[in-house]
Structure 1
Amino acid sequence: MAESEPLDRFRAKVSRTVQFYLDKSTPRIAERWLALAALIVVYAVRVYLLRGFYIVTYGLGIYNLNLLIGFLTPQSDPGLEGPELPTKADDEFRPFARRLPEFKFWLSCSKSVLTGLLMTLFPVFDVPVFWPILLLYWVVLFMVTMKRQIKHMIKYRYLPFSWGKAQYTGKPAPKDSK
């Protein structure tokens, strides 16, 4: 037991440090997404230079597509809830609540790309496959999934993106007639 204490303390210290930097990155949305984009570019260049790891890339694509669907889907699905009582104010504002929040979406995508990058260090994950078939299958899967998601968004009239609070200028000031 005594020999695991230093390891536990080290693990706790690393966990606190990681959480500290995650907390500091929370309000910096653009910087987080730019860092993820840079990470994806590094991964893509590594896979291109190695000319392999297509199965890892395909799995990464499927996982991130699943995350994207969770990000675009509302938390409460009107199609699954059954019939609702009619309301007078059909145009009532209801904020869009995602099934997968933006920060968790970014964090999961970042972890998946880092895991994929780590997997490219081990040749056991470089399974030989004919990559154009995987790419074609992923594109078809993406198109079918997004078509279904867009139809769902149109049917239930929701937009999964917000451009901030609407700004109202108020009434114009009366002109002095001098």
Structure 2
Amino acid sequence: MEGVTVDGGSPVGLARWRNDFSRRFQYYLDKSTPHPVGRWLGSLAAATIYILRVYYVQGFYIVSYGLGIYVLNLLIGFLSPQVDPEMEGMDGASLPTKGSDEFKPFIRRLPEFKFWYSITKAFCISFVMTFFSVFDVPVFWPILLCYWVVLFVLTMKRQILHMIKYKYVPFSLGKQRYSGKRSTDKAGSSRD
């Protein structure tokens, strides 16, 4: 039985610590699920810390560019339907395109929670990368910024055209409420 001992520095102790940490992390992650505003504010704080770090260090533009491309990729997944009508052979699992089609709710390819978790993780990893000089490649950052903006505009244009073509909106503002027919007879309500 090589490599397995009972003392604190053993592989068994490390595996136990990793398992405990993983359970505790998953517990807090599960507790954060019903609080989207708090989660996104925490992500905004992580993004702000990363941006301030890059601003004060005046470097790590390649890391920022890679982060921007990754976030753009996540955004496209968040805005795209799970079943893409262009990719699927229209085998019944498509978005409704006419008013007479059956209503099918919009299901994202990338759910909101995974979108949030991936973005937060990406900002944290990028922040850690700013402490290693090997990732600070000297580049002319305005070129990277212009290229990313052009890429963002072209990608969003394609996504918006896709949304218009297949008539779907990837956002909902909560539960829709119906008030019914409003009565126009005000005299009937004032009778005693």
The alignment's TM-score, normalised by the length of structure 2, stands at 0.86
1:37 aligned to which of 33, 36, 44? 44
CA distance in 2, matches of 1:83, 1:101: 23
Partner of 2:121: 111
1:32-73 deviation per Cα after TM superposition (whole angstroms, max 9, x unaligned): 111111111110000000000000000000001000000000
Partner of 2:176: 166
Q: Using CA pairs below 8 Å that are at least 6 residues apart, which structure has the higher relative contact order? A: 1
CA distance in 2, matches of 1:89, 1:109: 36
CA distance in 2, matches of 1:136, 1:153: 26
Change (3 A) 1:87 1:119: closer
Instruction: Tell me which structure has the larger Cα radius of gyration.
Output: 2
Change (3 A) 1:145 1:89: closer
Partner of 1:139: 149
1:5 paired to 2:19? no
2:103 aligned to which of 93, 100, 108? 93
CA distance in 1, matches of 2:66, 2:97: 44
CA distance in 1, matches of 2:30, 2:13: 26
Change (3 A) 1:172 1:140: closer
Q: How many residues align?
A: 178
Deviation at 1:170, TM superposition (A): 3.9
The alignment's TM-score, normalised by the length of structure 1, stands at 0.93
Q: CA RMSD in A?
A: 2.1
Q: Could you list the runs of 5+ residues in structure 2 that have no partner in the other structure?
A: none
